[in-house]
Amino acid sequence: MKLKQAVFLGCALVLAGCAPGGGGQVADMGGGDDGSVGGISEVPNPDATMAKLSGKPLSQLQRGHEVYMLNCGQCHAYQLPEKVDIMDWEDAMPKMIGHAGLESSDETAVLAYVKAVKKVKGQEF
């Protein structure tokens, strides 16, 4: 019986950490009115053109996309990559990568992916 209570309490604490007001925000995968929040179908998949324009390996962009899609939205409001402020992200990423239990190579890959999306969209950063 005590094991069930411990498992329940552990799950409750994990969920509370991602709840609004509980240290994070539940991801919003729907569309937004201001354009900074968009649906999953609006996030570009890395391809050869993106890799060529960014000068980064396609495999790195694919990993950055994967981490971005599967990890960042776990605790934060979902943002389209082209709406991300690169300077803010470069400051916050080391802490977030550590918090998520990811490798520094994942940090590099996510930043490469976001910068590549911006480049494809014709944005400077």
d(CA 112, CA 109): 5
Q: What is the pTM of this model?
A: 0.69
Q: Which two tokens stand for residue 86?
A: 């690169």
- Using one digit for the tens of pLDDT, what is the confidence trace for 54-98? 999 999 999 999 999 999 878 887 788 888 899 998 898 999 999
- What is the pLDDT, as a whole number, of residue 6? 37
Looking at residue 44, the DSSP 8-state letter turns out to be: P
Q: What sign does the dihedral 105-110-111-116 (CA atoms) show?
A: positive
- What is the pLDDT, as a whole number, of residue 36? 58
CA–CA distances in Å: residue 45 to residues 19, 69, 83: 28, 10, 16
d(CA 50, CA 65): 12
Domain boundaries, the chain: 26-120
Q: Which two tokens stand for residue 26?
A: 């539940």
Average pLDDT over residues 22-46: 57
